[in-house]
Structure 1
């Protein structure tokens, strides 16, 4: 059994605490994190370890709150492909979302 980071929970808690504050203001509060990085995390991207720890300190939440067990044997090929696309950092978000929509259509039409 492997573990993975619950990026949806992290993104939700980050958005919730940030509230109406701008990304730049929040980035300054956290310290050592850029506004574009926070934006990517709020979109479900995984942060690097240092950024993750800084955000957890800012949230005042233990890091293990976001750790979940992951069993690749029980994960569908579709979910694996989508997970890899969501972790992609070179493609624009719009392209990733389009590819995910295409994958959904392909699996729904099988």
Structure 2
């Protein structure tokens, strides 16, 4: 089942409960401003997205349209950092995220086979 990226903020709000944004942001290890922006529907960068997915206990692939992807608790592969730019549409950002996760999964499978 695919979860839309728009639902990320709702899941964050549910997990945060009655705690303040600052306390929850500290748990995630991101700034309270970033936490608030994502909770209000803004697209996070990949590093922030991974931290939030781990905090809400959801695999990133659930938001990107495929299950079985490497989750945040799996072996760490290559890391890619994309800075949020207004010239990148949410659809492009989602596609890039999916591509990066697929490449990382393929590299992990290859390493296990050659291993």
TM-score where L is the length of structure 1: 0.54
Q: Which has the higher contact order (CA 8 A, sep 6+)?
A: 1
Say whether residues 1:23 and 2:21 are aligned partners.
yes
Task: Select the structure of larger CA radius of gyration.
Answer: 1
Change (3 A) 1:88 1:48: closer
Runs (4+) of structure 1 exceeding 3 A deviation are none
Q: 1:44, 1:68 → 2: CA distance?
A: 18
Matching residue of 2:52: 55
Say whether residues 1:67 and 2:64 are aligned partners.
yes
Check conservation: 1:7, 1:41, Cα contact below 8 A: no
Name structure 1 gaps, 5 residues minimum. 70-86, 90-110
Q: CA deviation at 1:68?
A: 3.8
Q: 2:4, 2:46 → 1: CA distance?
A: 14
Between structures 1 and 2, the one with greater strand share: 1
Say whether residues 1:38 and 2:30 are aligned partners.
no
Name structure 2 gaps, 5 residues minimum. 67-83, 87-115
Check conservation: 2:5, 2:64, Cα contact below 8 A: no
Q: CA deviation at 1:88?
A: 8.0
Between structures 1 and 2, the one with greater helix share: 1
TM-score where L is the length of structure 2: 0.52
Q: 1:88, 1:42 → 2: CA distance?
A: 18
